Amino acid sequence: MCDPSLKRSVEQLSSSDILVDCRAILPGDENALLDEEARSIPARVLEVRRASGAARVLGRELLARLGYGDCAIPKAASGAPLWPAGVVGSFAHDDATAVAAVGQSDTISALGIDIEPAEPLPEELRDLVATPREQARLAESPCHGRLIFAAKEAVYKTIAVLDGTLLDYHDIEVDWAARQAVLRDGRAIKLRYCLSPQLVVLAYVPRTDAPRV
Ligand SMILES: CC(C)(COP(=O)(O)OP(=O)(O)OC[C@H]1O[C@@H](n2cnc3c(N)ncnc32)[C@H](O)[C@@H]1OP(=O)(O)O)[C@@H](O)C(=O)NCCC(=O)NCCS
């Protein structure tokens, strides 16, 4: 269903409190959208509805692993997916693959995910995406810039759901050594990532009052 090596890499982003998985986007996945979901997804383009359908098939599989029956996961007006009460989650897709992450809100306050090709960030996006400190480290690996981009998209989704703040790229500083991104207001968002065969970044905010396992 999905490149086995990508699936292995993506599954390794999971932990006891966050489930992460991926799925190939297949012809017909657009028909997996439940009525409520289809009504909430305004896109007329078949490929867009297909990718959103594939993401929701995956989302429902992950929800089933958490003990939830078939639930609709429509889109809010903001664009963010609306999960059943007690669940936080996120979707991303490229042309071929959908990824999803879910957690339970008693341990995770919010999370976000992104998938990107394992390719360099186009030169013309460097200044837009990377802060001066991040730019100084772009030469560390060919895909370093794209990984920063994916991290910021994942953090954007996390924070948009957490408190509605719409971040700009330079509001976020990625610190891979600490596996976190720090926002302009000082908040730290945790990061996990895989590099091969595609870049996938998971951002998440644990609940500070959750019991430690
Ligand atoms: C929201 C956004 C990040 C999605 O990225 P994308 O490359 O278009 O699409 P992706 O495949 O990564 O993700 C798509 C999923 O994101 C989710 N999404 C869309 N808007 C969202 C939001 N505001 N909050 C959280 N998740 C959102 C949806 O679930 C969507 O899938 P669906 O349409 O099947 O439901 C992008 O559209 C956007 O608005 N970016 C803001 C640009 C910007 O200023 N970024 C600064 C980053 S710091």
Residue 1 CB neighbours (<10 A)? 13
* Token pair of 57 as six digits: 């098939």
Instruction: In the chain, count H helices and then E strands.
Output: 6, 8
How many Å apart are CA 91 and CA 52, to the nearest integer?
A: 8
Q: Check residue 2 and give its pLDDT.
A: 87
The torsion of the CA quartet 112, 179, 19, 104, rounded to 10 degrees, works out to -70
Task: Tell me where in the chain the CATH 3.90.470.20 domain(s) lie.
Answer: 1-113
Average pLDDT per run of 10 along the chain, which is 213 residues long?
92 97 97 96 92 98 95 96 98 97 97 97 97 94 96 98 95 97 96 96 89 53
Ligand 1 centre distance from Cα of residue 211 (Å): 31
Ligand 1 pocket by Cβ (under 6 Å): 52, 55, 75, 78-81, 90-93, 114, 152-153, 156-157, 160-161, 167-169, 172
The confidence score (pLDDT) of residue 43 equals 83
Q: What is the pLDDT of residue 210?
A: 60
The pLDDT score that the predictor gives to residue 213 is 47
- At 168 the pLDDT is 97
Domain 1-113: which CATH number of 3.30.300.210, 2.40.50.140, 3.90.470.20, 3.40.50.300: 3.90.470.20
Q: Give the pLDDT confidence score for residue 211 in this predicted structure.
A: 58
